Structures are given as C-alpha cells and as structure tokens.
C-alpha cells in the first residue's frame, strides 16, 4: 500500500487572531500557524498502518506558510517521503476545494492508493478536505474515522457517530479517509531527531497552481463578547430553569 497523508497549516487559536485591514480575513503575517491537529491524528494512523502492514508513506503539504518544520517532524516520526507543494498565491492560504483541486494530480503522481487526512480543520469554511478529495478522485471514502486496518485490497475503517456508536466499513482501495482520532495518541518526535533529519534529509518540492476559490467572505469578527460569565439570578428553581433554557439553545 502507498499512503499519502495530506496535512495543512491552520491558524493557532492559542495565539491572538489578527484581522486584516478589510476585516475579511486573518492577517497571515501576524498570526501563528500550526499543523492541523486532526492531520496529526491522520499521520499517526498512517504510521500505525505502516508498522502493521508495511506501507510506504508520503506526507504532503501545500506551502501556505512555513511547512518545513511540520514536514520534517513527520519524517522524524517515520514518514518515508515529504512533499512540499509550492506556488504563487499559496502563502495567503487556500480553501479546501482549491487544495483538493491541486492534490488530485499530485496524488496520482505519488501513486497513492490511500489518502489519510484530518476529518476537519478549524478553518475549513468551504467543507472538509477529505470529501472534496474523495469526490475529485472518485474514490471510496469515510469521514470521522477513529481506527483503520489493512485488509488486502481494502481498508476496514471504524466510523464514529454521536454517543459512541461506531460502524465498521470495508472500503475498497483506493480510498480517502477523514481521520478523527488515531488509536494511539500522535507520537512525540524528539527535537534532537527532528534536527538530525533537517540536516540529513531534504523535502521534495513540486510547483502547483491553485484553481480559483468559490467562497466569498464578507466579514470576519470575533463572536459577541460575553465579557466574563453572565450571572444568573433568582431562586434555585428560576436559576435551574434559565440554565435549562441555555442548554436547549446549545442544542442539548
């Protein structure tokens, strides 16, 4: 099996999110980016598959920021190849539809018969990458997957629903998986090993052109500020009733 793990950088919400002057996007130069945490789960799942079934593993990321460290870390964890997609306009960030548009050719060239990526990312406003890719490639797929095993010409994927219910799915290869959680937490790459890899291994690069995006953001802003807790007053019944109402508003 040849596995491609597609990763992307997302805004790190631990850091301040700085808006651009026009208020329509984040000022990319002023925010911190990090690997999408679900992509890290996908990478771990792929590494486990590699260990159990001897797959070859290529990690792919578009250079929508400084992706080198993310890719070297993936190599340090055990990926065989790391492919950086470079091109004009990527640095401002791309939507998933555009990313999928780029990846369809790349994945064919890599010769992958399974693509693993995170089930979602904190910035996928135009839908999730895994399904954009599955539709683009015409492959079998599943999202919200929390466990994958190789079974000959198929993968057995465990898909999760709300409340812990799961479905076991047999997906014939080639297949795309949106990974929610790997059976093991993402392994730690010791810094000395990452630094060693940076000195001894290099990233492959490939020039790509992103298709146009199809989404128009009118504005971006923080949600209405709550400014500390809204304190509920009244007797205990009244307070409980109000909280019950709040819970209902949250869709619970």
Among 43, 100, 114, 148, binds another protein (CB under 8 A): 100
Q: Which of 144, 141, 207 is nearest to 176 (CA)?
A: 141
Give 13 or 108: the residue with its C-beta nearer to another protein. Answer: 13
> Is 108 or 217 the residue whose CB approaches another protein more closely?
217
Q: What is the DSSP letter of 51?
A: H
Can you say how many angstroms the Cα of residue 218 is from the centroid of all Cα atoms in its chain?
A: 24
Which one among 29, 152, 199, 219 touches another protein, defined by CB under 8 A? 219
Q: Which stretch binds another protein (CB under 8 A): 53-61, 81-89, 106-114, 231-239?
A: 231-239
* Phi, psi for residue 197 in degrees, rounded to 5: -60, -40
Site string for another protein, 167-186 (x = CB under 8 A): xxxxxx-----x--x---x-
CB of 148 to another protein, least distance (A): 13
Per-residue tokens: 12: 């790190």
- Scan residues 21-50 and list those touching another protein (CB under 8 A): 26, 32, 34
Spell out, one character per residue from 3 to 22, where the chain touches another protein: x when CB under 8 A holds, - when not: --------xxxxxxx-----
Cβ proximity of 117 and 37 under 8 Å: no
Q: Is beta strand 56-62 parallel, antiparallel or unpaired with respect to 154-160?
A: unpaired
Largest CA distance in the chain: 68
- Report the relative pairing of strands 33-35 and 2-7 from DSSP bridges: unpaired
Minimum distance between the CB of residue 244 and another protein, rounded to whole angstroms? 4
| Cα gap 225→228, rounded to integer Å | 9
Q: Is 193 in the site for another protein (CB under 8 A)?
A: yes
Asked whether the beta carbons of 117 and 40 are under 8 A apart, the reply is no
Identify the residue among 66, 105, 202, 246 touching another protein (CB under 8 A). Answer: 246
Report the residue from 28, 136, 198, 206 that binds another protein according to the rule CB under 8 A. 136
Where does this chain touch another protein (CB under 8 A) — which range of 1-9, 54-62, 108-116, 126-134? 126-134
d(CA 171, CA 19): 42
Does 200 sit near another protein (CB under 8 A)?
A: no
């Amino acid at each position: 099996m040849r596995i491609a793990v597609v990763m992307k950088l997302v805004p790190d919400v631990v850091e301040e999110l700085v808006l651009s002057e026009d208020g329509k996007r984040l000022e990319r130069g002023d925010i911190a980016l990090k690997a999408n945490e679900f992509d890290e789960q996908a990478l771990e799942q792929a590494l486990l598959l590699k260990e159990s079934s001897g797959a070859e593993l290529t990690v792919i990321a578009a250079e929508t920021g400084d992706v080198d460290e993310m890719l070297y870390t993936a190599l340090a964890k055990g990926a065989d190849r790391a492919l950086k997609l470079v091109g004009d306009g990527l640095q401002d960030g791309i939507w998933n539809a555009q990313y999928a548009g780029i990846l369809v050719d790349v994945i064919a060239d890599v010769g992958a018969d399974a693509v693993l990526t995170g089930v979602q990312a904190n910035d996928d406003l135009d839908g999730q990458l895994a399904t954009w890719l599955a539709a683009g490639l015409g492959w079998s797929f599943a999202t919200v997957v929390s466990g994958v095993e190789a079974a000959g010409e198929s993968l057995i994927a465990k898909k999760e629903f709300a409340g812990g219910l799961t479905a076991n799915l047999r997906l014939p290869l080639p297949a795309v998986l949106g990974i929610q959680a790997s059976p093991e937490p993402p392994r730690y790459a010791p810094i000395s090993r990452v630094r060693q890899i940076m000195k001894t291994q290099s990233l492959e690069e490939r020039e790509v052109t992103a298709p146009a995006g199809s989404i128009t953001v009118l504005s971006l802003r923080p949600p209405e500020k709550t400014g500390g807790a809204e304190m509920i007053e009244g007797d205990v019944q009244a307070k409980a009733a109000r909280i019950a109402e709040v819970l209902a508003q949250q869709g619970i």
